[in-house]
Structures are given as structure tokens and as C-alpha cells.
Amino acid sequence: MRIFNVLFGILILPALSALLRFADDGELVAALKQRDPDAMAKLYDRYGRLAYSIIIRMVRNEAAAEDLVQETFLRIWNRIQAFDDEKGALGPWVLAVARNRAIDYLRSAEGRKIETALELEALEQPAMFQSVESGLLNADRVRRLKRAFEKLTPNQREVIELAYWEGLSQTEMSERLKQPLGTVKTWVRTALRTLREELGEAVVA
Amino acid sequence: MSCDELSDLYELYALGALESEERAEIDAHLARGCPDCQRGVHRALLINAGILSCAPDIAPPKRLRKRVLASVGVETPAWGWIAGWGAVTAALLIATLWYSAISRQRTEELAIARRQVAQTDAALARVQQVLDFLDAPETRQVSFGAGQPSPPRGRVLLNPAKGVLFIAANLPALPRGKTYEMWVIPKGGAPRPAGLFQSDQHGNAVHLQPGPVDLSTTSAVAVSVEPESGSAAPTTQPIIVAPAAGS
């Protein structure tokens, strides 16, 4: 937890640079739809490092991470035609697909792949990312998100980690942490409210 | 469940980390176009992207880019490698040419130095020979040219064991393709060739013809101008004739 918190602060800048470009992705999506070879290179150059960072953070295995990054971009390439280049949020979509590939990998290792794969599939449909104002997620707001994360208690940070990086449900967290489900739900709810307070108001506006 | 009750669950919903009952509730709200839930999920997607973006930054291996592009049929140009190898090759070529030039220059300098050393050694040997010649007690000396208006002047030294040493000044400049040739003239015999030599720019010359010489039968020592390759017998009138018994 502490390590994550430290790294969260130190290594946030590369991620910010990617986020700052979220708003410029419309042309890139259009070029991808036209099967422009340069567009795929641009897509990788824009999000490849971030996708790899997310996946390696989750699976902690370089060979598997490379496979999953490749799978992520292949999936984006194959589904880009359904993506709305004017209203879609490409960055959040790529990151969600990358995370879901890693979650799929982790759950597969635990024998839970089949029951969750369809759920993840539904959550990364291009339509899910339509009308998401990704331009609102700028560097300043991500810094605020970081500060908000630092305000969390150790228990709150831990449940957020388990949800984001391991994909655990609240029941699974309760079992993992040997804490009552109600307590875990309180930690999760409080943590997410804290994060929203920093970020959410502007996003919702 | 009301939208308000669901509002704390949107992020977990977008992560796929909700229990099935709660997920079904949100699915139902979204299916009927619930604006609050749609907005809430959109916000959750952004929050999730923001949190994921804060993963510790780790650079992927360079090969991954090529692999990803190849997987969708995009070939990465090899210009980077070609340019890299081209630069290395050019650098090696330049280094080779430079080394070759330096090496050639060094070789030439070394050859010049060797020639100079050889010339110096030869000059020293000749000087030593001349000194030995002069030091020998049996050496006989004759002079020539003294008293003439603008003559070559000098000395001829004869040593029975060491040969004939010719020392001259005021030698006339040689025409192109010509050389001086010394002759040893026996009494009642034809002149015998005794070596070729050149004068320096001031008309000075020192020439040693090594080898035994019979002073009793030698009449004179002469010098004539001959073709560069020398002659078996004088082809011009000698410019110097020094009688062996002159001194």
C-alpha cells in the first residue's frame, strides 16, 4: 500500500501526459477506422506505455504483460469501427480494455475466467465510452485525484487497490481481508466519495 | 434500488467488480435510459481511467511496438536500423580512410627518415674512409690547378693499399646528363676507369676510389666529363690531369 502510494506520487507525470491528449483523439479514431497504418503506430505511441504500465502492475509478469498489451491493441483495432470518433473517449476505453485483459488473465489463473469474461466484455463495449467527456480529465484534475487518494486511510486504500488492480468484488474483499462485508462496503463507499469530491464535481458539471 | 442508492456503486460497476444483484440493478437503470445512472457511469469511467493512469510508469520493451503493429498487419519500417547501421558503417569507413591516410603518411615519413639515416651513414662511412686515408702514413699527395686563372684546384692522394682519393674545388658545373669520371693512368698504358662522382653546388667534390694502386707504375690521375653511365675510356679532354709523382 505504501509503495503504491509513493509510486502514485512519483510516477504520475507520464500518465498525465497521456491523459492530456485524451481530448485530441477524435482524428486518431477516424484514421484508425480508415485503417491508416500510421494511426495504429500513433495509438500505440500514445497509450502503449500506459497500457503496459497498468498491465504489468497487475500481472507482474513481463511475458504475460506483452501478450496482454498485444491483445489489448488488437481488440481496439478490431472494434474501432463501432467507436464514436466524435463522442467516444478513446483513452479511457483503451485503459479499460487493458485492465480487463489483465483481470481476465488473473481470473483465468484462478479458474474464474468463464463466469467473468462476459461481464468484462460488456463493460468495454465502445458504446460504454460514448459521451464520456474525457477532456475533463486533465492533468490538474488527476493531481487532485492523487491528493484525494493520499487522504484515504490505509484500509480505504487497500480496498481501492483490490478493486482496481485485482478486480475483487466487495464480498471477495471481505473474505480476503477477513472483515465483515458491511465494514468493507463502508471503506469502499467512503474512499470513492473522497475521490469523487476532488474529481467528480467538475466531471459531472 | 434508487439512483441515489446506486450512486456509490458506479465505479465498481464500470470495473466489473459488483455483485450480480447490484450489477443487474444498474443494468436495468441504464437499459431504461436513466440519465442519472448514465451520467454516474460516465463519471465513474473517467475516475477509473484517472486511477489506472496512476499506475507506476514502466517502459515496455521496444520489441513490443513492432509486435503490436505486426499483429494488425502494419509493418514497421526498418529505416531506424538501416540508418543506424549506415551511420556505423560510415563512421567505420571514415575511420578506416583516416587511419589509412595517417598510416600512409607515417610510412612515407618513415621511409624518408630511413633514407636520411642511410645517407647519413654513407656520408659518415665516406668521411671515415677519407680520414683513414689521410691518416695512413704511406699516402702520397699531389696537387693540381694551383696558379691557374680559374681552374679546378685540389689534391689527389694515393695510397698503395687504400686507393685514390680525389679532393677538388672550383669544378665547372656539369651539363645535364653528364658526370665526372676519374681515371688512373698507368705509365705507357691506357687510362683505367676509377669511379664516377658529382660535385656539389659550389663545385666541390670528394671522391674515393678504393682498392690497391701500384704507385710505381701509375703515371697520373685524370678527371674528364663523361655521360652519366660512365665511359670505358675518356671521351672528352680531361679537365684535370694530376701527375702521380707530382709531390
What ipTM was assigned to the predicted interfaces of this complex?
Answer: 0.83
Residues A169, B50: C-beta atoms closer than 8 Å: no
Average pLDDT over chain A reads 80
Which chain B residues touch A32 with a CB distance below 8 Å?
A: none
CA dist., res. A129 & res. A146, Å (int): 23
Residues B56, A11: C-beta atoms closer than 8 Å: yes
The total domain count for chain A is: 2
Please state the rounded mean pLDDT for residues A112-125: 67
From A8, A70, A153, select the one nearest B61 (Cα to Cα): A70
Both A96 and A57 in a single domain? yes
Of A132, A159, A177, the domain-final residue:
A132
Please state the rounded mean pLDDT for residues A166-191: 94
B100-143 pLDDT per residue, tens: 888 888 888 888 888 888 888 887 887 777 787 777 888 888 88
CA dihedral (A145, A148, A149, A153) in degrees, to 10, reads -170
Reduced to 3 states (helix: H, G, I; strand: E, B; else coil), residue B152 is coil
Both A57 and A143 in a single domain? no
Q: In this predicted structure, what is the pLDDT of residue B246?
A: 53
Domain hosting A186: range is 139-204
Please state the rounded mean pLDDT for residues B136-152: 78
Of A85, A100, A132, the domain-final residue:
A132
Instruction: Find, in chain A, the residue whose alpha carbon is nearest to that of B52.
Output: A54
Both A121 and A143 in a single domain? no
Name residue A193's amino acid. R
Q: Which of residues 69-88 of A touch B (CB under 8 A)?
A: 69-70, 73-74, 77
Residue A75 lies in a domain: yes
Reduced to 3 states (helix: H, G, I; strand: E, B; else coil), residue A46 is helix
Question: Taking a C-beta distance cutoff of 8 angstroms, is the pair B56, A99 a contact?
Answer: no
Is B76 in CB contact (< 8 Å) with chain A?
yes
pLDDT at A204 over 50: no
Residue A13 lies in a domain: no
CA dist., res. B31 & res. B26, Å (int): 8
From B20, B60, B125, select the one nearest A119 (Cα to Cα): B20
Which chain A residues touch B55 with a CB distance below 8 Å?
A: 11, 15, 50, 53-54, 57
Q: In this predicted structure, what is the pLDDT of residue B234?
A: 93
Instruction: Find, in chain A, the residue whose alpha carbon is nearest to that of B73.
Output: A37
The domain segmentation of chain B, as residue ranges, is 3-58, 68-135, 140-243
CATH of the domain at A178: 1.10.10.10
Count of C-beta atoms within a 10 Å radius of residue A171? 13
Both A170 and A105 in a single domain? no
Both A110 and A26 in a single domain? yes
Q: In this predicted structure, what is the pLDDT of residue B193?
A: 93
Please state the rounded mean pLDDT for residues B240-247: 76
* Count of pairs with CB atoms under 8 A, one residue in A, one in B: 183
Lookup: cell for B5: 442508492
Q: In this predicted structure, what is the pLDDT of residue A134?
A: 64
Task: State the Cα angle at A58 between A56 and A63, rounded to 5°.
Answer: 40
Residue A170 lies in a domain: yes
Cell 482496481 belongs to A164
Between the CA of residue B196 and those of B13, B124, B128, what are the distances in Å? Answer: 114, 19, 20
Count of C-beta atoms within a 10 Å radius of residue B86? 11
CA dist., res. A43 & res. A49, Å (int): 11
Which chain A residues touch B48 with a CB distance below 8 Å?
A: 92, 95-96, 164
Q: In this predicted structure, what is the pLDDT of residue A39?
A: 92
pLDDT at A10 over 70: no
Q: Which of residues 33-72 of A touch B (CB under 8 A)?
A: 37, 40-41, 44-45, 48-50, 52-54, 56-57, 62, 65-66, 69-70
Which chain A residues touch B6 with a CB distance below 8 Å?
A: none
Both A165 and A180 in a single domain? yes
Residues A54, B41: C-beta atoms closer than 8 Å: no
Both A193 and A105 in a single domain? no
CA dist., res. A110 & res. A112, Å (int): 6
Please state the rounded mean pLDDT for residues A110-129: 69
pTM above 0.90, yes or no: no
H helices of chain B, in order, are 3-6, 10-15, 20-31, 35-53, 62-71, 79-135
Both A81 and A158 in a single domain? no
Instruction: Find, in chain B, the residue whose alpha carbon is nearest to that of A118.
Output: B16
Least confidently predicted of A87-91, A124-128, B23-27, B33-37: A124-128
**Which of B8, B59, B69 comes nearest A40 by C-beta?**
B69
CA dihedral (B78, B80, B81, B84) in degrees, to 10, reads 150
Which chain B residues touch A136 with a CB distance below 8 Å?
A: 46
From B129, B117, B137, B118, select the one nearest B206 (Cα to Cα): B129
Both A121 and A175 in a single domain? no
Residues A44, B69: C-beta atoms closer than 8 Å: yes
Lookup: cell for B22: 447490484
Lookup: cell for A3: 509503495
pLDDT at B195 over 60: yes
CA dist., res. A17 & res. A36, Å (int): 24
Between the CA of residue B81 and those of A154, B60, B63, B88, what are the distances in Å? Answer: 49, 19, 13, 10
Both A29 and A121 in a single domain? yes
Which chain B residues touch A44 with a CB distance below 8 Å?
A: 65, 68-69
Both A29 and A120 in a single domain? yes
Residues A41, B65: C-beta atoms closer than 8 Å: yes
Is A95 in CB contact (< 8 Å) with chain B?
yes
What is the percent of chain B where pLDDT is above 70?
94
Both A53 and A83 in a single domain? yes
**Which of A11, A169, A193 comes nearest B57 by C-beta?**
A11
| CA distance, residue B109 to nearest chain A CA (Å) | 57
The topology under which CATH files domain B140-243 is Immunoglobulin-like (2.60.40)
Q: CB-hemisphere CA count at 13 Å for B89?
A: 6
pLDDT band at B20 (very low <50, low <70, confident <90, very high): confident
Q: In this predicted structure, what is the pLDDT of residue A113?
A: 56
Lookup: cell for A20: 492530456
pLDDT at B80 over 80: no
Residues B53, A50: C-beta atoms closer than 8 Å: yes
Residue A7 lies in a domain: no
- Residue to mutate among B45, B62, B76, with most A CBs inside 10 A, is B45
CATH no., domain B3-58 = 1.10.10
Average pLDDT over chain B reads 85
Please state the rounded mean pLDDT for residues A12-22: 49
CATH of the domain at A91: 1.10.1740.10
Question: Taking a C-beta distance cutoff of 8 angstroms, is the pair B72, A69 a contact?
Answer: no
Residue A12 lies in a domain: no
